[in-house]
Structure 1
Amino acid sequence: MTSSRATGYEPLLTLKPVARDLWIVDGPAIGFYHLPFSTRATVVRLRDGGLWVHSPVRLSDPLRAEIAALGPVRHLVAPNWIHYAFVADWQAAFPEATSWAAPGVIARAADHDMKLRFDHELTGDAPPAWDGEIDQTVVKGSKVHHEAVFFHRASRTLILTDLIENFEPRKLPWWMRPLVRLAGISAPRGHMPPDMRATFDKALLGASVRQMLDWGPERVILAHGACYESGGSAELRRAFGFALS
């Protein structure tokens, strides 16, 4: 369920340029564990002019028009088992798009009585549709949390979803601020949420983090909270130091 309260990332549901052929869209807060989580989509324009949309947020008519003006939507990406709530709306608006799901998405949607169509499951290798432009891997080590992560080569941008949460206290309701501090997911030193971390094998997670580091990210886009505009590799080493030791 989305919330009408301010998120601190206004204006919402509009394209915000990040780098050449790369935009984010901040969306309304969505309830998760009875907490208001801000939402964020990432849009990449591929070399063929088609659009790749990661973790779609709520779709409004003005946003739909902005997106259509950029180019045809070719790919809709549900990057983990939580981030799929608005995919159906985007599928209805852009029926020619191919839909991609991380492992676990289809089963969880079915458990919540959501009948979603996905054309392909994401794997550890980029498909031909964006190979050479966006690298990807599915992070290993958890039987619960399966997240596909992506690296936009041209802008050196790593695109994560929930592996790091970096909530800015001043943008949260007063009662939520101590919770994020206690969980260690408060900006600027965001981390993996502790309940998620408990599901991971440290060695396997570390191998996936090293793969991300090998990409050499400068910027890190997150779904929740402040992104890291510079020093991306250093932030990865800090946030996942427990898995790299």
Structure 2
Amino acid sequence: MSEPDDDSGPGPAPSEEVWEGPIRLYTPLDVPRPLTENVWLVDGPVVRMAAYGTYIPFPSRMTIVRLANGDLWLHSPTALSEPLRRRVEALGRVAHLVSPNKIHYAHIAAWKAAYPAARAWASPGVRERAASQGIAVSFNAELGDTPPPEWGGELEQLVFRGSRFMEEVVFLHRASRTLLLADLIENFEADHVSPGLRWLVRLSGNLHPDGKAPLDLRLMFLGRKDVARACLKRMLAWQPERIVLAHGRCYLERGTEELRRAFRWLGVPG
């Protein structure tokens, strides 16, 4: 099976600055970039999350894992474009569309329409969230603490519990010890956000290099941190070498150390 051609469609060069509103995008867009064997990252356009009576912009990122049987597993799919579709198809068969939490689902419907045979996997509460936002999306199966047979030998997973707002399903690619997170750590680089947004990012605690869960999400764990600490203990036991984030700069070295640092607000278990 061929690898995607990075020059197979229009798009900015990696060094070119591209801004979408107050967010400087990670470029090139819609190009699967190899992270490690059988793992690719795809940076997409800005997504806007409805919150506090307005919309908050975020850069978006999808992770693609090619399973041993050649099937592709897509974590937090980004907006589907024709160039991206061609490049993804060069990697394998799109088989799994994964919503890691209830605010990472918006583009699954488009991918499902393009690949009807793919299975869409629902995170806790995502169906209700989509309905409340008027977004039509259907799911085939539920995500839980136990990996399903389709990827049980290749990916670890658990539901990170304790938040009164949102539970996130976290994953570890076992072969590369790559931890995949959506919103439990956000890490915005100062030169990738406008000055007007930078103060909010700093206040929320998400400014690189000290990325972590945003302040509002951390507050949702009050009174239930013991539950979350048990989940964190399991994640630390995985000893990830790198952490891939959906929003902002990833931590590609000293993954376990960065995980412990990012969750110091929780009280790291011994």
Q: Same fold (TM over 0.5)?
A: yes
Deviation sequence 1:147-205 (CA, Å, 0-9, x none): 00000011110000000010011111121111111111100110111111111121111
Percent identity, aligned pairs only? 48
Distance 1:111 1:8 in 2: 28
Counterpart selection for 1:49 from 38, 50, 70:
70
Structure 1 counterpart of 2:37:
20
Please name the residue that 1:172 is paired with: 193
Q: Distance in 2 between matches of 1:74 and 1:35?
A: 31
Q: 2:256 aligns with which of 204, 227, 233?
A: 233
Measure how far apart 1:49 and its partner are. Answer: 0.2
Task: Give the equivalent residue in structure 2 for 1:120.
Answer: 141
Amino acid at match of 1:100: W
For residues 164 and 140 of structure 1, what CA distance do their matches in structure 2 show? 15
Q: CA deviation at 1:213?
A: 0.7
Normalising by structure 1, what TM-score? Answer: 0.96
Contact 1:202/1:242 (<8 A) preserved = no
The amino acid that maps onto 1:30 is V
Structure 1 residue 113: deviation in Å?
1.9
1:206 alignment partner in structure 2: 229
Larger displacement relative to structure 2 (104-113 or 155-164) = 104-113
State the TM-score, normalizing by the size of structure 2.
0.87
Q: Which runs of 5+ in 2 are unaligned?
A: 1-18
Aligned-pair CA distance for 1:115 = 2.2
Q: Which moved more, 1:5-14 or 1:94-103?
A: 5-14
Could you say what secondary structure the match of 1:203 adopts? helix
Question: What is the root-mean-square deviation in Å for CA atoms of aligned residues?
Answer: 1.3
Which residues in structure 2 correspond to 1:86-105 (within 5 Å)? 86-105=107-126
Please show how residues 19-168 of structure 1 align to structure 2 within 5 Å. Answer: 19-32=36-49, 33=51, 34-168=55-189
- The one-letter amino acid of 2:61's match is R
> Matches of 1:178 and 1:54 in 2, distance apart?
30
* Structure 2 residue 246 is the aligned partner of structure 1 residue 223: yes
Cα drift, residue 4 of structure 1: 4.2
- AA in 1 matched with 2:238: W
Amino acid at match of 1:20: E
What is the distance in 1 between the residues matched to 2:253 and 2:226?
Answer: 27
* Structure with max Cα Rg: 2
Q: Across the two proteins, how many residue pairs are aligned to each other?
A: 243
Tell me how far apart the structure 2 counterparts of residues 95 and 61 of structure 1 sit (CA, whole Å).
16
Unmatched segments (≥5 aa) in structure 1: none
SS of structure 2 residue aligned to 1:213:
helix
